[in-house]
Amino acid sequence: MMADMDRRDVIDRVAIPRKDDDLLLGRHGLDLLMPMHAMIDPEGRIVHIGPSLSRLAGNRPLVNRKLTDCFSFNRPQTVRGPADLHGIGGHRLDLAFRDGRAVRLRGVAAPLAGAGGLVLNLSLGLRELADLGGAGLTCTDFSATDMTVDMLYLIEGKNAAMTESQRLIMRLNGARQMAEKQAFTDTLTGLGNRRALDRALADLVAAGIPFALCNVDLDYFKQVNDRHGHAAGDEVLKAVAHVLTDVTRDRDLVARTGGDEFVILFRNLVDPAIIDRIARRLIVGVEQPITVGDATCRISASMGTALSTAYDVADPVQMMADADLALYASKRAGRSRHAVFDACLHVPPSE
């Protein structure tokens, strides 16, 4: 009975009278000035907590429990039980909930006159500001003088700035990737261009990966331009690009290197028989009639291939020249066919 009277006396003497107008600072005034406070009786028992501390505690029971049963003290480290609380008045505190998530709090303890006891004025530790201790607190849960509110605004501003910076970086990366893609892409057909071909050749040679380089030149394409105009010729080139990508694999590179000239790089494929079968399918596909408006366009293709394994050291410049020799051998043999470079093909191409 005497202990209960002492706890009530602590509440009455400090700031929480039975009638709010009995003292200048009543319950609501204390809750307003220190919404995250806790009042401790002389026995070390929590007799009252502010509304914000109550929200932060959530399902953790605090009132009528020993302070040291509810919180562990990191500062001062000498606090282990109720008897150790008598000397913490005026000291800075660093403590954390024992139950559930160990939310860190900082604050100061003030001794109470008369019946004794303490008032703890607490606030969230810095590490808890990111999610406000997981309790969904808002700015209204902190006193107007609590620096936590200012920190929250700073964190919010920082997060907003970081979010905008990330968006800007993503836009810049997207623009850079788009620019790089455009720099390596033929704008008419969407195939690779000469720059893409040179890079792919350099990568294959540097990695020591065997490959075949196949030059493709369209037959009778000039007649399409002369008879139906360059717009029709562009549509034919797009149709040819579609055939080339359909016949080749995803790992292969198809590039347009001139008006009606294309190059295919077959990665890890140097079997002449397999390449010849692919070339025949490609020629058959290219020879299908292409309808452009009211016109029907017919073309074919001649092809010449050089194999990287035919050289002691693969030289892209030499391979391009040798593939050209094989290509023109196909044209001299009647067009619409494919040839693989052989050392006997030493005669330079003629127009």
Q: Residue 351: is its pLDDT beyond 50?
A: no
pLDDT tier for residue 140 given thresholds of 50, 70 and 90: confident
Specify the pLDDT at position 198.
96
Greater model confidence, 242 or 35: 242
Least confident of 54-58, 148-152, 155-159, 177-181: 148-152
6 flagged as catalytic? no
Other CB atoms within 10 Å distance of the CB of residue 161:
10
Query: CA 93 → CA 14, 63, 73, 78, 271, distances in Å?
Result: 21, 19, 8, 11, 78
Beta pairing class for 46-49 and 37-40: antiparallel
Q: Looking at residues 28-56, what average pLDDT do you find?
A: 87
Specify the pLDDT at position 91.
82
Q: Which residues contact 223 (CB under 8 A, 6 or more apart)?
A: none
Residue 121 tokens read as 């004025």
Catalytic residue chosen out of the listed positions 217, 260, 322, 324: 260
Specify the pLDDT at position 1.
45
pLDDT tier for residue 149 given thresholds of 50, 70 and 90: low
Greater model confidence, 281 or 345: 281
The model carries a pTM of 0.56
